[in-house]
Amino acid sequence: KIEHLLVGDVVLVNLETAASNRSLDELGVKRSKRGLTFQANTAELNGLRASGVTAVSLANNHAEDCGDSAMLETLDLTAKANLFSAGVARDADPFKPTRWDIRDGVVALFSATTKRNRGSPFPDAKAQLAFKPFKEMGRFLPEIIQSYRKDHPDELIIVSLHWGSEGAARPYPGQ
């Protein structure tokens, strides 16, 4: 049973999908070469909130599966469902944390990924994914978090980093 995990000030999940009720054809997106295109029904976001989830990490390898417009739709729908989200931004820095008040202070959520299924952003994308290759992320993310910590020493900082080798039993060298 997980009910005791869903009552905290911050209950964070990795939303490993975009949320849209439109078909891939309507979104103008082809199924990925691997055959895995993750897409959630928009009503499921309300279900997350109703279950006690307060925040979602959007930066992961499936964020772009349904295209730029579905990423933007996901941002809008998470806000509408009263879920805080980080890792994708509309015409802004996706590495900037999402901040909100809790009982005893402020939370700052950073979300980033070292994986991108589609290889590169969509042309003219308005949604920005917090992505850096693994070799760059190792120095980039700590630098921005340390800089943020200097200016916000009393905030609770949460970092959700989506990385690693799928299906691997152990991290590969360098991780």
Q: Which tens digits make up the pLDDT trace of 130-146?
A: 999 988 998 999 999 99
Dmax over Cα atoms in the chain, in whole Å?
47
Identity of residue 80: K
Question: How far is Cα 155 from Cα 51, in angstroms, rounded to an integer?
Answer: 26
The predicted structure's pLDDT at residue 1: 61
Question: How far, in Å, CA of 170 to CA of 152, rounded?
Answer: 35
User: 55 by DSSP, 3-state: which?
Assistant: strand
Whether the Cβ atoms of residue 161 and residue 132 lie closer than 8 Å to each other: no
How far is the C-alpha of 10 from the C-alpha of 81, rounded, in Å? 15
Other Cβ atoms less than 10 A from the Cβ of 163: the count is 15
- pLDDT category at 121 given cuts 50, 70, 90 is low
pLDDT at residue 94, rounded to an integer: 95
Q: Given this model, what pLDDT does residue 34 score?
A: 66
* 172 pLDDT more than 80: no
* Burial grade of 7 (CB within 10 A; 0-12, 13-18, 19 or more): exposed
β-pair type (88-90, 127-129): antiparallel
- Report the alpha-carbon angle 108-112-113, nearest 5: 160
Above 70 in pLDDT, residue 87?
A: yes
What's this model's pTM, rounded to 2 decimal places?
0.88
Q: In what order do the strands lie in the sheet with 12-14?
A: 12-14, 55-57, 84-86
Residue 167 in tokens? 């299906």
Q: CA 103 to CA 78: how far, in whole Å?
A: 22
